[in-house]
Amino acid sequence: MRVLTTIDEVRAARGAFPGLGLVPTMGFLHEGHLSLVSRAKAECGAVAVSIFVNPTQFGPNEDLARYPRDLPRDLAFLQAGGVDAVFTPSPSEIYPAGFATRIEVGAVAEPLEGASRPGHFAGVATVVAKLFNIVQPTRAYFGQKDAQQCVVIRRMTRDLDLPVEIVVAPTVREADGLALSSRNAYLEPAQRAVAPVLFRALSDARLRFEAGERNAEALRAIIREVIAREPGVDIDYVSVADPETLRELDSVGTVGLASLAARIGKTRLIDNVLLGGAAPDVRAATT
């Protein structure tokens, strides 16, 4: 496994891999990342992982400084996962002095995470476009857990004619349903114990959808009610939206995206389920 820190090193190494899958990450890797790595390796023949805690996607009062980092552990994990190359640039390699360009993706970046975290998706889109240009992957792999991020990246990739295929893989969950996330590391044991309520609430809404409920506000109400029964969980938003446009729905047709963000203590978690026609979530092998 090659560990590369500069853009020049990546460009020099790129020719060795005719097909290359890229898994962009911010490190502190878990089984969800590993599932993306395995799929990329199987589908592309070779896989590169970027590890970069991207400062421009964090707001001024967010967790950039305390975001969990453990590069030696991540590298051991990736080596065992059969990764061909890892790109771990410094902030100044990605954002040299004078850097001034931002990619604004438009309407799909505005609601939900975009409304709660102003500027977040401009930071994500800009760094992902740079990673695509640097690594030049044939395919790039993202997790459905970050549903809006996937929509934003697909939109950007189409709009800018970037020559990469975007693959979205199912959310990987703990045995009790909690979606895997690097931020789960922030949860204290009592907080970790209540966190599965997020997926329970979304699953209840999905069950009601499958039983025939089509009124989007009724589905949002179910999610809110289930969460309200668990003390210490503060809802940021609950949404039932069109999975492509992310516009809130009055009535769900054949498909919808039920998503939420909530705080447990200081930790902000997001999760979602697709209503109708969805690939099932995956349980982590280790739990």
From the list 20-28, 62-70, 159-167, 266-274, the region that binds ligand PAF by CB under 6 A is 20-28
Name the residue nearer to ligand PAF (CB basis): 25 or 138: 25
Q: How far is the CB of 221 from ligand PAF (least distance, A)?
A: 30
Place of tokens 């979606």: 179
CA dist., res. 270 & res. 260, Å (int): 6
Of residues 52 through 111, those in contact with ligand PAF by CB under 6 A are 54, 57
Binding ligand PAF (rule: CB under 6 A), the pick from 31, 74, 113, 146 is 146
Nearest Cα to 152, choosing from 88, 57, 268? Answer: 57
Q: How far is CA 133 from CA 127, 137, 226, in A?
A: 10, 8, 44
Q: To which residue do tokens 């939420």 refer?
A: 260
Q: Which of 4, 17, 21, 24 binds ligand PAF (CB under 6 A)?
A: 24
What does the buried/exposed string (b/e) look like for 217-246 if buried means 16 or more CB atoms within 10 Å of the residue's CB?
Answer: eebbebbeebbeebeebeebebbbbbbeeb
Applying CB under 6 A, which of residues 4, 21, 22, 25 lies at the interface with ligand PAF? 25
Instruction: Give the nearest distance from C-beta 114 to ligand PAF in angstroms.
Output: 13
Number of residues binding to ligand PAF, judged by CB under 6 A: 10
**Which residues from 35-54 bind ligand PAF, rule CB under 6 A?**
54
Q: Measured from the CB atom, is 26 or 197 closer to ligand PAF?
A: 26
Active site residues: 33
Please identify, among the stretches 122-130, 225-233, 238-246, 264-272, the one whose residues bind ligand PAF according to the rule CB under 6 A: 122-130
Of 32 and 196, which CB lies nearer to ligand PAF in the complex structure? 32
For ligand PAF, which is the closer residue by CB, 25 or 267? 25
DSSP-derived pairing of the beta strands 256-264 and 233-241: antiparallel
For residue 139, the minimal CB distance to ligand PAF (Å) is 14
Token couple for 44 = 């592309």
Distance CA 257, CA 148 (A): 10
CA distance 18 to 6: 20
